[in-house]
Structure 1
Amino acid sequence: MSAPGTLDQANGVASAPAEPIGPGRLVLVVGPSGAGKDTLIEAARQRLAGDERVLFPSRVVTRPPSAAEANAEVDVATFATLARIGGFALSWSAHGHDYGIPVAIDHLLREGRTVVCNVSRSILDAARRRYQSVIVVEITAPPAVLAARVAAR
């Protein structure tokens, strides 16, 4: 296995360390589009403002900005460069766009902090291999509500 912070060429993220990263907790919020994940994360961010033990890093995404989400938008070439140099702890593609969680979360988790991220279910296994403590929070809503919210975007 590669040393911490080295690049895993197969998936473009920093490779998993020999020992899972911790002792901090990684809270992964998952659910379908329109479920309200970002709304709930923002409410938690506001409620916990000033608490340095809990952090809410921005995702890096290759899609246009959204007022409802706190993302760092980049073009496809920039995302590819970040992936190539191991700039993501976790990354995935969905609906024609790329998403990444900055590798800087590794340092925060080693410090024992709690990190909260909106992610895809597709990276849960990779997260569980990489980190000591992964907590998954699934947010959902009735199908009609999901459809209405997505249509309103």
Structure 2
Amino acid sequence: MKIVDNIILDFNFYFAGIFDDCVKKEVEFLECFLSENSQLVFMELECNLYPKLDSEITGVSEEIKKIVLENTILKTKEKLFDLYYETGEDEQFYWYAPKNKEEIIQVIEKDCDSYSCLVLKKGKELEDYDYLLDKVENLTFKDSITTTALIIHEKIENSFKIDIRPKIEKLIKY
């Protein structure tokens, strides 16, 4: 992994080891962004929850569907943020906050290639996020390198560099 400004290149925990261990490592990484009163809020597209019969989309497992539906804090057709993978006109977006680490692990297992989530203080509106994290599978960086990356949008300038980057650097040393 390499940190360039607010982008983490080669953001991949799956190069070696058992898949479950790699997922747990990625969740541990995401926890670096959390404070005592914050949570991860993920985005899911309605087409993944209710795929059409003639669609190429296979949908998510019933376990994930349950996590999304039971923990939805906002369902909207409005594109709230400029996300790398937002798609579809007239698409319903579900923003949901998994209740615990086990649910976060299940979400990451499902979306290990790409996902979008917010780091949000509990009780705040989505627009009041601290960080927007956008994991991208095939990001072309500087017109030549294609890599998996985590793009980090911060609400407060330099908060990633000051508050989060040291935690991440400590974590990836081991």
| Same fold at TM > 0.5 | no
TM-score, normalised on structure 2?
0.29
TM-score, normalised on structure 1?
0.31
